């Protein structure tokens, strides 16, 4: 019986749109203040895509940077997975549009929908296909144009989200232990706490649907907060146990960048505040792109270096959640 192959991340990249929307800008749009937003979310600004920029454009820009970082050509990619809840359209997959934009003509492509947990889910899916010998090299992307699904008149949600994309190139082999085992979970019974109710087969696009603003994201913030803290903290503990690693051995924890209060609560539960990486102040919540952008920045700014043990953890609509451990080998 052939043993699973080790899989490593050999390159990362990220992209955020040029336009910056600050808390002070939001003060002119809804009844809020910079102080209120920052105190409750830790956010100062977010990036907003141009009208002619779609999720595939953001994802392709991040992908090009990841390929350059990995020293891999687009034609060497066997698999592209795009994690997104804001696809270019229902079909074809946004991953197919990315494939065309970057020239990855030898890849097969699909999208993965797990809301804010998407990048970690996609990372695990690609890792498993490489480990099994089905493919050699994969490109995993988290890309979101959240600004198209936010009601800019709803001060409770419009302050929270931004646009952007992050990407990682995975390959068999590499130094160290690479991407280790993951822990993931879901609870569909809580789907109504964080969702976009309209536009699908349950509530098709109609004048009535649009008048009721069902095309926009809805969230019950307090309940989401409670479950996010609990599930991410539990997933981290379970992932560490599964990989037989102590929290004391981890050099960097990267959580989903949803809200600084959520991040601080998780850090306090785990006792790892000194090693918790955040960039939510600059980008707000970019959903499935958030973890990918944070990983790229942590590598590029030297927070993560060769040989470091890293924990990634996520939480998103569904509900979905998870955590994994990796040893950085680049």
**Under a CB-based contact definition with an 8 Å cutoff, are residues 98 and 84 in contact?**
no
State the Cα–Cα distance between residues 40 and 86, nearest whole angstrom.
25
Please tell me which residue in 116, 158, 243, 324 is annotated as part of the active site: 116
**Under a CB-based contact definition with an 8 Å cutoff, are residues 119 and 324 in contact?**
no
3-class secondary-structure state, position 21: strand
- The DSSP string of 136-157 is SEEEEEEEEEGGGSS-TT-TTT
Taking alpha carbons only, the member of 323, 324, 255, 316 closest to residue 85 is: 316
Asked if the bond preceding 326 is cis, omega within 30° of 0, the reply is: no
State the Cα–Cα distance between residues 315 and 168, nearest whole angstrom.
19
285 is an active site residue:
yes
Within 13 A of 288's CA, how many CA atoms are on the CB side?
32
* pLDDT number for residue 130: 98
State the Cα–Cα distance between residues 16 and 20, nearest whole angstrom.
9
Angle formed at CA 27 by CA 22 and CA 33, multiple of 5 degrees:
90
How many Cβ atoms are within 10 Å of 210's Cβ, its own excluded?
Answer: 13
116 is an active site residue:
yes
**Under a CB-based contact definition with an 8 Å cutoff, are residues 31 and 5 in contact?**
no
State the Cα–Cα distance between residues 266 and 233, nearest whole angstrom.
6
**Under a CB-based contact definition with an 8 Å cutoff, are residues 43 and 160 in contact?**
yes
**Under a CB-based contact definition with an 8 Å cutoff, are residues 119 and 145 in contact?**
no
Please tell me which residue in 243, 259, 285, 324 is annotated as part of the active site: 285
* pLDDT number for residue 2: 64
Please tell me which residue in 96, 158, 256, 324 is annotated as part of the active site: 256
Instruction: Count how many residues are written for the chain.
Output: 330
* pLDDT number for residue 1: 54
Which residue blocks in 132-274 are alpha helix, DSSP H?
A: 207-211, 221-242, 260-270
109 is an active site residue:
no
* pLDDT number for residue 175: 87
**In Å, how far from its chain's centre is CA 226?**
20
* pLDDT number for residue 3: 66
**Under a CB-based contact definition with an 8 Å cutoff, are residues 288 and 117 in contact?**
yes
Buried b (16+ CB within 10 A) or exposed e, 114-123: bbbbbbbbbb
pLDDT in tens, the chain (330 residues): 566 899 999 999 999 999 999 999 999 999 999 999 999 999 999 999 999 999 999 999 999 999 999 999 999 999 999 999 999 999 999 999 999 999 999 999 999 999 999 999 999 999 999 999 999 999 999 999 999 999 999 999 999 999 999 999 999 998 889 999 999 999 999 999 999 999 999 999 999 999 999 999 999 989 999 999 999 999 999 999 999 999 999 999 999 999 999 999 999 999 999 999 999 999 999 999 999 999 999 999 999 999 999 999 999 999 999 999 999 998
Distances (CA, A) of 281 to 21, 173, 189, 270, 284: 12, 35, 31, 22, 6
**Under a CB-based contact definition with an 8 Å cutoff, are residues 183 and 241 in contact?**
no
* pLDDT number for residue 302: 97
Q: What values do phi and psi take at 41, rounded to 5?
A: -130, -20
* pLDDT number for residue 330: 81
Beta-bridge partner residues of 83: 112, 142
State the Cα–Cα distance between residues 329 and 234, nearest whole angstrom.
26
């Amino acid at each position: 019986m052939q043993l699973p192959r080790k899989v490593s991340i050999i390159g990362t990249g990220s992209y955020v749109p040029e336009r910056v929307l600050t808390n002070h800008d939001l003060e002119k749009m809804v009844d809020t203040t910079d102080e209120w937003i920052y105190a409750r979310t830790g956010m100062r600004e977010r990036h907003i895509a141009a009208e002619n920029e779609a999720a595939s454009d953001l994802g392709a820009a991040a992908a090009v940077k990841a390929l350059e970082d990995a020293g891999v050509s687009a034609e060497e990619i066997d698999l592209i997975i795009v994690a997104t809840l804001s696809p270019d359209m229902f079909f074809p997959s946004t991953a197919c549009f990315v494939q065309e934009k970057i020239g990855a003509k030898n890849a097969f492509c699909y999208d993965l929908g797990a809301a804010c947990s998407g990048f970690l889910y996609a990372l695990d899916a690609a890792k498993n296909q490489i480990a099994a010998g089905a493919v050699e090299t994969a490109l995993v992307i988290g890309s979101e144009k959240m600004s198209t699904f936010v009601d800019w008149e709803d001060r409770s949600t419009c302050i929270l989200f931004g646009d952007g994309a992050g990407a990682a190139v995975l390959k068999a082999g590499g130094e160290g232990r690479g991407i280790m085992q993951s822990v993931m979970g879901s609870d569909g019974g809580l789907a109504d706490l964080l969702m976009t109710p309209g536009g699908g087969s349950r509530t098709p696009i109609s004048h009535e649907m649009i008048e009721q603003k069902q095309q926009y994201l809805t969230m019950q913030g307090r309940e989401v907060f409670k479950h996010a803290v609990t599930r991410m903290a539990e997933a981290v503990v379970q992932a560490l146990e599964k990989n037989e690693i102590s929290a004391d051995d981890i050099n960097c924890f990267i959580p989903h960048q949803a809200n600084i209060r959520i991040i601080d609560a998780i850090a306090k539960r785990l006792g790892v505040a000194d090693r918790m990486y955040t960039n939510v102040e600059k980008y707000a919540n970019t959903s499935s792109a958030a973890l990918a952008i944070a990983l790229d920045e942590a590598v590029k700014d030297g927070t993560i270096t060769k040989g470091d043990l890293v924990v990634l953890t996520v939480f998103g609509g569904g509900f979905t959640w998870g955590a994994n451990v990796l040893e950085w080998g680049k």
